[in-house]
């Protein structure tokens, strides 16, 4: 057996692990008496007990209803659905196994047949669209390798992808399309030293080929954005790393991606997703500012925006709101990976956001940004390892959607009330003067300012009213 086939076997097995085998009778609930000839042909319902989720308002006790998210309701001049642009992440929802560094898979979805076959990939895709429709959203996100299985050669792998993508195209219909696509450049051992920043030129080429194909697939499916998350673009120790050369390689890679995007006429936004660390000790796209610095240094700042993830923000020592604002004021806020972490935990937990206060701050940035389109909110969030019921998938998404919807409603209250905006505006009003205007126009030199300082004497410095700001903010929750 050659290495290639072994790797294939390995990957196949890996997927088996994440999908727990279930015998055939259970896999065809639509017609339990019939044997399923090919698991790809599954035609029944994947979520038989779950109705299409409806808005029932805040007093509802039904876990499978929205209490705050009312898609068609207009808030601040836009429908809620247009503010939110919610997207289901294929990987967490359909490939999340519940495995962690100390434990094997726990999820046991009834539609999984225990293989990573092409047929299984297709069946899973059907489940995906049933899930999306029942949840009432119309966007989804994917990595190339989570929707279609690896094969022995790149050519065959691409063929697999083509087949699944063709099915997805059909299942999408006219209403659904990807918020974004991306290439999975971190799971496979070939990427252990990085993809664009691998020390091996062969890996760099392989990664380029993979991104090329993933971009084509995204384009074909009508995807609105394309994301780069450099899970292995970083280092474990500087002792064995030529960081300068690696960063140069990353720039060359992204330049080539921009060129290819233009060549194929893909008009979607390219997005960088910052993360400080994990799996590597240091990732080159550490946070929003670091990513922007990289883009500026290599002249790529006009070609990319950022995909901010809340859990990545907090791991980098910032609040999520900070990262969103940092991106926003540089015109770089392109998309949000809606999730949260545990404030006492030092790794990515990718939990569904359920904190109202956080959600309100997130929505403040979104509203200030005039919305996120063509980006949106992608639920890069996963069930806890111990949540093993099919309905948990729905409950988690509903909870996440309701929380952000509640955030939007709170922002509307804050804006209507107006006192927080006022408080901030007034703090800076001393700059809304002649001298302030001069300073802001870059026309105030040190000599002039020194003269003013001497003329004015000790400046008056008022209270920053933080506690009042917090009180006003909380009143809107």
Q: Say whether residue 50 binds a copy of itself (CB under 8 A).
A: no
Q: What is the nearest approach in angstroms of a copy of itself to the Cβ of residue 269?
A: 18
Q: Are 145 and 427 in contact (CB under 8 A)?
A: no
Which residues are known catalytic residues?
143
Q: Does 300 bind a copy of itself (CB under 8 A)?
A: no
Give helix 466-475 / helix 390-417 axis angle, nearest 10°: 120
Helical packing angle, 154-172 and 201-220, nearest 10°: 20
**115 burial type by CB count under 10 A (0-12 exposed, 13-18 middle, 19+ buried):** middle
Q: Which H helix or E strand runs over 333?
A: strand 333-337
Selected binder of a copy of itself within 43, 329, 370, 413 (CB under 8 A): 329
* Residue 430 sits in the site that holds a copy of itself (CB under 8 A): yes
**102 binds a copy of itself, rule: CB under 8 A:** yes
Nearer CB in complex with a copy of itself: 74/474: 474
Binding mask 80-99 for a copy of itself (x = CB under 8 A): ------------------x-
Residue with tokens 């898979």, as numbered in its chain: 105
Among 276, 334, 375, 407, binds a copy of itself (CB under 8 A): 276
Residue 467 engages a copy of itself in binding (rule: CB under 8 A): yes
Q: Which stretch binds a copy of itself (CB under 8 A): 40-48, 73-81, 118-126, 351-359?
A: 351-359
Size of the site for a copy of itself (CB under 8 A): 174
CB 447 → a copy of itself: shortest distance, Å? 7
Distance linking the first and last C-alpha atoms of the chain: 62
Contact status: 117 vs a copy of itself (CB under 8 A): no
Q: For a copy of itself, which residue of 203, 271, 310, 411 counts as binding (CB under 8 A)?
A: 203
Q: For residue 120, state whether it binds a copy of itself (rule: CB under 8 A).
A: no
Q: Is 318 in the site for a copy of itself (CB under 8 A)?
A: yes
Q: Is 116 exposed, middle or buried (0-12, 13-18, 19+ CB in 10 A)?
A: buried
Structure tokens given for 203: 């890996």
CA distance 431 to 30: 68
Q: Is 331 in the site for a copy of itself (CB under 8 A)?
A: no
Q: For 128-142, give the DSSP string.
A: HHHHHHHHT--EEEE
The helix (run of H) or strand (run of E) holding residue 234 is strand 234-235
371 interacts with a copy of itself by CB under 8 A: no
Torsion of CA 195, 198, 200, 203, to 10 degrees: 0
Decide whether 10 or 30 has the Cβ nearer to a copy of itself: 10
Give, as ranges, the residues between 381 and 420 that touch a copy of itself (CB under 8 A).
383-389, 392, 395-396, 398-399, 402-403, 417, 419-420
Q: Is residue 30 close enough to count as binding a copy of itself by CB under 8 A?
A: no
Candidates 278, 300, 303, 415: give the one binding a copy of itself (CB under 8 A). 278
Q: Are strands 333-337 and 74-75 parallel, antiparallel or unpaired?
A: unpaired
Count CB atoms within 10 A of the CB of residue 353.
Answer: 24
Strand partners, 178: 140
Spatial separation of the C-alpha atoms in residues 116 and 390, rounded to whole Å: 20
The answer to whether 338 contacts a copy of itself (rule: CB under 8 A) is no
424 in contact with a copy of itself (CB under 8 A): yes
Q: Which of residues 129-168 bind a copy of itself (CB under 8 A)?
A: 153-155
């Amino acid at each position: 057996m050659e290495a290639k086939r072994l790797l294939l076997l390995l990957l196949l097995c890996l997927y088996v692990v994440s999908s727990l085998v279930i015998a055939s009778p259970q896999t065809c609930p639509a017609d339990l008496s019939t044997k399923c000839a090919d698991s790809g042909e599954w035609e029944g319902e994947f979520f038989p007990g779950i109705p299409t989720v409806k808005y029932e308002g805040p007093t509802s006790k039904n876990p499978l209803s929205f209490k705050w998210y009312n898609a068609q309701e207009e808030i601040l001049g836009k429908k809620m659905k247009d503010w939110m642009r919610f997207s289901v992440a294929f990987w967490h929802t359909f490939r999340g196994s519940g495995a962690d560094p100390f434990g094997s898979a726990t999820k046991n979805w009834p539609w999984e047949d225990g293989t990573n076959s092409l047929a299984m990939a297709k069946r899973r895709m059907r489940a995906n669209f049933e899930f999306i429709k029942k949840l009432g959203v119309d966007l989804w996100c994917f990595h190339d390798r989570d929707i279609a299985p690896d094969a022995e050669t790149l050519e065959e792998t691409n063929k697999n992808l083509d087949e699944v993508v063709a099915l997805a195209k059909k299942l999408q219909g006219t209403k659904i399309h990807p918020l974004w696509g991306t290439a999975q450049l971190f799971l496979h051992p070939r990427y252990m030293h990085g993809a664009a920043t691998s020390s091996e030129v062969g890996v760099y080429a392989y990664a380029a080929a993979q991104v090329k194909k993933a971009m084509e697939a995204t384009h074909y499916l009508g995807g609105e954005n394309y994301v780069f998350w450099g899970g292995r673009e970083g280092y474990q120790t500087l002792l064995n790393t030529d960081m300068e050369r690696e960063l140069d390689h990353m720039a060359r890679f992204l330049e080539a991606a921009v060129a290819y995007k233009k060549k194929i006429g893909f008009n979607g936004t390219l997005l960088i997703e910052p993360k400080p660390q994990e799996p590597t000790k240091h990732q080159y796209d550490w946070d929003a500012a670091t990513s922007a610095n990289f883009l500026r240094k290599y002249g790529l700042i006009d070609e990319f925006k950022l995909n901010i993830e809340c859990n990545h923000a907090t791991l980098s020592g910032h609040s999520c709101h900070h990262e969103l604002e940092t991106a926003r004021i540089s015109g770089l806020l392109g998309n949000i990976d809606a999730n949260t972490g545990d404030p006492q935990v030092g790794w990515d937990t990718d939990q569904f956001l359920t904190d109202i206060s956080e959600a309100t701050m997130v929505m403040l940035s979104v509203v200030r940004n005039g919305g996120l389109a063509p980006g949106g909110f992608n639920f890069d969030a996963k069930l806890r390892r111990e949540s093993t019921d099919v309905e948990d998938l729905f409950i988690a998404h509903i909870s996440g959607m309701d929380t952000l919807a509640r955030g939007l409603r709170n922002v509307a209250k804050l804006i209507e009330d107006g006192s927080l905006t006022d408080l901030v505006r007034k703090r800076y009003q001393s700059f809304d003067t002649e001298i302030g205007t001069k300073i802001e126009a870059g026309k105030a030199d040190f000599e002039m300012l020194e003269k003013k300082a001497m003329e004015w004497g000790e400046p008056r410095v008022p209270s920053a009213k933080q506690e009042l700001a917090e009180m006003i903010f909380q009143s809107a929750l």
